[in-house]
Chains A and B, each alone.
Chain A
């Protein structure tokens, strides 16, 4: 960045000349950089505008309200038909991306933790298998793994016609059209189950606070986790039974070709999820291993000396300290997973990149608007994820006195 100024500085007079004053020099550098950047941005915008005009490309966001005209294979939580607008397509893609990213991150974290701990196991065989897993999946391109899982999921499964006869009512089925199960439909009174569920969560939270205060005062512990688990599962269940089981399961019905109705988890979703989880977990496992190893052995010894049981030793002493090392790189793995979900475009999973930056872009040709929206979504998701992880990190951070 403008390092040619150092030569002119060398030949300057001995007194503090203009060029020798770091503050003034800094201002000049920055003004120069901003000027160059502004010119650059202006040139790009200008070129783009000229080019679009010359090629007769449409601009503006008006296209978002036109009807899309094509079908999408899976549109959870969003009402979609061929008559829906391109903006609905955007929403469908967004929801599919978020679902994939969220479930993927949770599963990758769980699998990564298990493998990371297995990697440090005293059991030789388990340790070797964990190492093999990590080294195998870390070093093979993700795209290849996605293609592999897609055919590995698809090829061995039978077709629906081999499993079911036309007209058959099906409550659960796995075939090469996906995982299909009966759709739960809430009857009047079912909303109470939701209320019970949320109430249980609030009560658990209150108990947790109360238990913490009590422990501070008296030193006595309270089994918060167990109580919470019983409450959150039990309360809705009891409500459900008391209300007279207000939930119907509507089975899928076999038509001439495939199952109709029910809830379908498409194989593309399963394949992409498997690939993302298996790939990312191999990185998380290494992060977990490094984190645990980073906790000084003295901590474990001190915990033993205090008479803390081995299981508690891990949970109360080692893991909380390891988390400080684990969280920052874990954040970037979550971000990677989210971004990598865009590889859905290689198989037919309808994520944002595939249906919006792919199909919609192709049908409308409005590259600038569509790419801008897509990038904005990914950047926002990145910001949100790292924001959340930063918040969590600051909570578990060592409070130095």
Chain B
């Protein structure tokens, strides 16, 4: 009945209504019974609805993990598809509780729009060109027409890149990713640029994916991560430790399959992770077993990665820098103790 309630409340449009106290996101979420999560309008591997409207993806898994942490129910989550343009407004206005929408962590965004709680995918901007162009390096792209998304860091990075290298270019910027792909496929541009994960995802939509090649250059750092509203430290902690929990679980070898057995492990680190020792969960207003619940219902970071974007998916993305620090990557979560 929230629908009716909002009508009633807004009909009054009371100028005097008090601002909901900052530390109340968890209470509000518990009261309504689900986490409202902002995702993309459709980016395979990250957040994408299937034929039935079920959402899947790496970003979606994070939302489900938060639901599992709060409710011990990975389905207690609702998704709001957001365009790049309205994502921050949706977060600041309270329409969503957390924004998990392949969003690059930058200083201005961190200060203007919300609090980034970590990085769930280390990305970088790359270029894709048709093989027939015979280009092997981005430095050869002088005079090319570039298709990209409007209103993203991508658009600014590509401008910086071409200016820095004193090359000419024309940019064709579209609102939606699907439109960019369609235009690139129709030959409107020579180059398609976006985050490399995005390139891999969108490539599956091309009419002949094998006729295109991703150039080796990575022209920017794009740490993608979820963010929450400023001013609610508890909710920020919940989001942050949800992410850390998934990464730590992978590091300690706890998976959704063996989670039940691991609960009785003798390893003190795993004990703290699973909440059988200490009261870490209570410190952030959750049950002590919040992390165990996440692992049991969503899995650890590696499982989520393999399921959504890994080599066995249409995206075919290797772990690369997104491997654990102990395995040559840069994924390094703060310890749970």
Contact = CB atoms under 8 A, between A and B. Distances in A.
Q: Do chains A and B touch in the complex (CB under 8 A)?
A: yes
Interface of A: 39-40, 42-43, 46-47, 50-51, 54-58, 69-73, 82, 151, 154-155, 157, 159, 176-177, 255-258, 260, 267-268, 345-348, 354, 358-359, 361-363, 365, 367
B179 to A, nearest CB: 7
Contacts of A46: 15
12 contacts: A56-B230, A69-B160, A70-B171, A71-B159, A71-B171, A176-B187, A176-B188, A177-B145, A255-B143, A257-B190, A258-B170, A348-B172
A258 B182 contact: no
A116 B323 CA distance: 67
A47 B15 contact: yes
Contacts of B168: 260
Contact of B187 (A40, A154, A365): A154
Given A40-B13, A46-B15, A359-B150, A70 B155 contact: yes
Interface in B92-124: 92-93, 111-113
A73 B173 contact: yes
B151 A362 contact: yes
Contacts of B156: 69-70, 363
Contact of A345 (B155, B175, B230): B175
B175 A358 contact: yes
B186 interface: yes
B151 A155 contact: no
Contact of A346 (B113, B144, B160, B175): B175
Which of A40, A51, A257 has the largest number of chain B CB atoms within 10 A? Answer: A257
B150 A358 contact: yes
Nearest to B160: A69
B259 interface: no
Given A70-B171, A71-B171, A363-B151, A260 B143 contact: yes
B174 interface: yes
Contacts of B93: 51
Given A151-B182, A362-B151, A55 B173 contact: no
Contacts of A43: 13-15
Given A73-B171, A154-B183, A258-B145, A54 B151 contact: no
Contact of A358 (B85, B113, B159): B85
A71 B112 contact: no
A177 B170 CA distance: 10
Given A55-B92, A154-B188, A257-B190, 20 more contacts: A39-B15, A43-B13, A54-B19, A56-B112, A69-B156, A69-B160, A71-B159, A71-B169, A71-B170, A155-B186, A159-B187, A176-B186, A256-B140, A256-B142, A258-B144, A258-B190, A260-B143, A345-B175, A347-B179, A361-B85
Nearest to B13: A43
Contacts of B160: 69
A361 B86 CA distance: 10
A42 B13 CA distance: 11
A362 B144 contact: no
A148 to B, nearest CB: 13
B112 A365 contact: yes
Nearest to A74: B170
Nearest to B86: A362
Contact of B170 (A56, A58, A73): A73
Which of B14, B19, B145 has the largest number of chain A CB atoms within 10 A? Answer: B145
A295 B168 CA distance: 59
A209 B59 CA distance: 73
A82 B159 contact: yes
Nearest to B151: A362
Contacts of A69: 156, 159-160
A257 B144 contact: yes
Contacts of B112: 56-58, 365
A80 to B, nearest CB: 12
Contacts of B89: 367
Contact of B133 (A57, A71, A257, A363): A257
Contacts of A157: 187
A46 B13 CA distance: 11
B88 A365 contact: yes
Given A73-B171, A347-B174, A151 B19 contact: no
Nearest to A363: B151
B227 interface: no
Contacts of B15: 39, 42-43, 46-47
B252 to A, nearest CB: 38
A359 B173 contact: yes
Interface in B3-23: 13-15, 19
B56 to A, nearest CB: 27
A365 B186 contact: no
Which of B84, B163, B168, B187 has the largest number of chain A CB atoms within 10 A? Answer: B187
A82 B88 CA distance: 24
A347 B183 CA distance: 9
Contacts of B172: 73, 268, 348
Interface string B312-327: 0000000000000000
Contacts of B152: 362
A242 B194 CA distance: 55
Given A55-B92, A71-B170, A365-B112, A151 B151 contact: no
A258 B133 CA distance: 11
A376 B119 CA distance: 41
Interface in B202-242: 230
A154 B190 CA distance: 14
Contacts of B182: 151
Contacts of A55: 92, 230
A71 B187 CA distance: 20
Contacts of A58: 112
Contacts of B151: 358-359, 361-363
